[in-house]
Amino acid sequence: MDEPTLPEIPAGRMAATRKRARDIAPPPEHSSTSSDPAVFSSDDDPALDNYQGHTRRKRRYVGAWFDQHPASSDSAFEDDSSPRFLQPRRVRGPHAQQPGQKREFKRHLDSGVWMGTDGSLTDSDDVFELEPATAKLPLPPPQLPPLIPLPPARPRLTPGELEVQSMIRQCVENGTERVDLSGLDLETISDGLLDPISDIEPIPNVAKDVEFEKRDPRLQVFLFNNRLRSFPASLFNAEHLTVLSLRANQLTTIPPAIGKLKNLEALNVAQNYLNYLPGELLHLLHKGKLRSFNFQPNRFWKPDTASFPPTMPGAPEKYELLTFGNPSAADRQPGWMGLTTKLRFRSPVQFSDGARNTYSAFKLPPVSRHPQEPAREGDDNVEVELEPFTQVAMPKEVTRELSSARLPTSLMAAPRGARSLFELALRACATSAQADRIAGWLREDAAEFPWPAHLAPAVERAVETHREGGLWCSVCGRETLLPLAQWLEFRHVRLQYVMEGVESDVAELGQEPVPFLRVGCSWKCVPAKVEAEGEEKEEGKEEE
The letter for the amino acid at 528 is A
Domain ranges of the chain: 26-88, 323-372+379-544
User: Strand, coil or helix: what is 279?
Assistant: coil
Backbone angles phi, psi at 237, to 5 degrees: -85, -10
SS3 assignment for 149-160:
CCCCCCCCCCHH
- Environment class of residue 302 by beta-carbon count within 10 Å: exposed (0-12), middle (13-18) or buried (19+)? middle
CB-based contact 451:485 (threshold 8 Å)? no
Other CB atoms within 10 A of residue 461 CB = 17
In this prediction, residue 226 carries a pLDDT of 93
Cis ω before 297 (30° cut-off from 0): yes
121 close to 130: Cβ distance less than 8 angstroms:
yes
Give φ, ψ of 70 to 5 degrees: -60, 145
275, 300 Cβ separation under 8 angstroms: yes
Counted residue by residue, the chain has a size of 544
Bridge partners, 485 (sequence order): 351, 520
pLDDT in tens, the chain (544 residues): 555 666 666 555 444 444 555 555 555 555 445 555 555 555 555 544 444 555 556 667 777 767 777 766 554 444 444 445 455 555 555 555 566 556 665 555 555 555 555 544 444 445 555 666 666 666 667 776 766 665 555 667 888 889 999 999 999 999 899 999 999 999 888 888 899 998 888 887 766 776 767 788 899 999 999 999 989 988 988 889 999 999 999 999 999 999 999 999 999 999 999 999 999 999 888 877 888 899 999 999 999 988 787 878 889 989 998 998 876 555 566 666 778 888 999 999 999 887 888 888 899 998 876 666 655 555 667 899 999 999 888 887 665 544 454 555 555 555 666 777 888 888 999 888 888 888 888 888 777 778 888 888 888 889 999 988 899 999 988 898 889 999 999 999 988 777 665 666 666 676 789 999 999 988 888 999 998 765 544 444 444 4
Residue 424's contacts (CB-CB under 8 Å, 6 or more residues apart) are none
Specify whether the CB–CB gap between 503 and 495 falls below 8 A. Answer: no
Amino acid code (one letter) for 67: D
Strand 69-70 to strand 60-62: parallel, antiparallel, or no bridges (unpaired)? Answer: antiparallel
Residue 69's closest CA among 18, 29, 13? Answer: 29
Neighbours of 283 (CB within 10 A): 15
Q: How far is residue 505's CA from residue 508's CA, in Å, rounded to a whole number?
A: 8
Least Cα distance to 271 among 237, 294, 290 occurs for 294
Q: In what order do the strands lie in the sheet with 69-70?
A: 39-41, 60-62, 69-70
User: Residues 6 or more apart from 130 whose CB is under 8 A from it?
Assistant: 121
Give the distance from CA 265 to its chain's centroid. Answer: 30
User: Measured between alpha carbons, how far is residue 422 from residues 298, 426, 453, 458, 463 in Å?
Assistant: 36, 6, 14, 10, 14
**Euclidean distance between CA atoms 391 and 384, whole angstroms:** 16
DSSP letters spanning 118-173: TT--SSSSS----PPPPPSSPPPPPPPPPPPPPPPPPPPPPHHHHHHHHHHHHHHH
Q: How far apart are CA 520 and CA 522, in angstroms?
A: 6
Question: Which residues, listed in sequence order, are joined to residue 518 by a DSSP beta bridge?
Answer: 487
Could you read off the pLDDT of 343-353 as tens digits, one per residue? 999 999 999 88
3-state helix, strand, coil in the chain (%, to 5): 20, 15, 65
Instruction: Give the model confidence (pLDDT) of 423-455 as tens digits.
Output: 888 899 988 888 888 888 888 877 777 888 888
H or E element that contains 511: strand 502-520
